[in-house]
Chains A and B, each alone.
Chain A
């Protein structure tokens, strides 16, 4: 794992957290959509907050696809989940919400999960020359990316 690759993981975290917050804020402005008028969900993207949220989520998608090109799915997902911690911290320090003890435990759990998975290898090593990934019977070792 190089510094640049950690930057991509940080990009996933930040873009997802900011994008989701804006999307949520915008959908609250749009209001409840009933299944009978389901087409109005298409026009929800015209709300400015939803639109900017979607742009940020596009940035998230590019970082996410990049990370998946050199790391396992089961590595990328936990490794980029610090965004939930950021959301809770921003709720405390910017929105001045009360963060309960349960939430602090949740933050601690997520952080240790992230620490746990990033200690390990990022990519499952495949046997060279075997074209199908289906040969699970072959023991594969693991390696850390350069």
Chain B
């Protein structure tokens, strides 16, 4: 029973964190290079612009959901299972989401990297 809870929590982590990653990436791309922007307008201006971005705020909500699911999962199972399992699935989910929702150019190199990292993380759990 605890196993089903753990995997349910891992699924929530994967979905919520990849949604959050996509939204955060979208928000930060709208804002633009924060290094350049803060040199021009100051750090506070950057912060103000970031926290008023709706994609950022919604992304924060989904990341908070992912964070609390992680806390639940960690209280039910070992970090050596929860960490690698959720991370490796998130890498693959993000490669797919990056291509579909962010229209990033996910070329062979990036697919290979995502799969290699996901596979490597899964092996670390073994």
- A residues bordering B, Cβ < 8 Å? 4, 20, 23-24, 27-28, 30-33, 35, 38, 41, 44, 64-66, 68-70, 72-78, 81, 84, 87-88, 100, 102-103, 105-114, 116-117, 119-120, 124, 133-134, 136, 140, 142
Encode contact with A along B25-67: 1 for CB under 8 Å, 0 otherwise. 1001101111100000000000000100000000000000000
CA distance A28 to B103 in the complex (A): 40
Q: Which of A33, A70, A72, A77 has the most CB of B within 10 A?
A: A77
CA distance A20 to B80 in the complex (A): 11
Establish whether residues A70 and B99, one from each chain, have CB atoms under 8 Å apart when the complex forms.
no
Report the contact-size class of chain B (Cβ under 8 Å from the partner): 35 or more
Q: Nearest B residue to A105 by beta-carbon distance? A: B123
- The DSSP consensus for interface residues of chain B is helix
Establish whether residues A32 and B75, one from each chain, have CB atoms under 8 Å apart when the complex forms.
yes
CA distance A102 to B68 in the complex (A): 30
CA distance A138 to B118 in the complex (A): 30
CA distance A112 to B123 in the complex (A): 14
Q: Of B50, B75, B84, B87, which one neighbours A27 at CB under 8 angstroms?
A: B75
Contacts A73-B22, A78-B110, A116-B112: A27 and B74 contacting too (C-beta < 8 A)?
Answer: yes
- The DSSP consensus for interface residues of chain A is helix
Complex contacts, B105 vs chain A, CB 8 Å:
72, 124, 140, 142
CA distance A138 to B97 in the complex (A): 19
Establish whether residues A66 and B21, one from each chain, have CB atoms under 8 Å apart when the complex forms.
no
Establish whether residues B98 and A106, one from each chain, have CB atoms under 8 Å apart when the complex forms.
no
How many A-B contacts are there with CB distance less than 8 Å? 156
How near does chain B come to A95, taking the closest CB pair, in angstroms?
A: 12
Complex contacts, B94 vs chain A, CB 8 Å:
73-74, 77
Complex contacts, B71 vs chain A, CB 8 Å:
23, 27, 33, 41, 44
Contacts A72-B102, A73-B98, A81-B91: A119 and B120 contacting too (C-beta < 8 A)?
Answer: no
CA distance A61 to B83 in the complex (A): 17
Beyond A74-B106, A102-B126, 10 extra complex contacts between A and B, CB < 8 Å: A20-B79, A20-B83, A33-B71, A66-B34, A66-B35, A70-B35, A77-B21, A78-B113, A78-B114, A110-B117
CA distance A75 to B122 in the complex (A): 20
CA distance A132 to B118 in the complex (A): 31
Contacts A72-B102, A106-B126, A140-B105: A23 and B110 contacting too (C-beta < 8 A)?
Answer: no
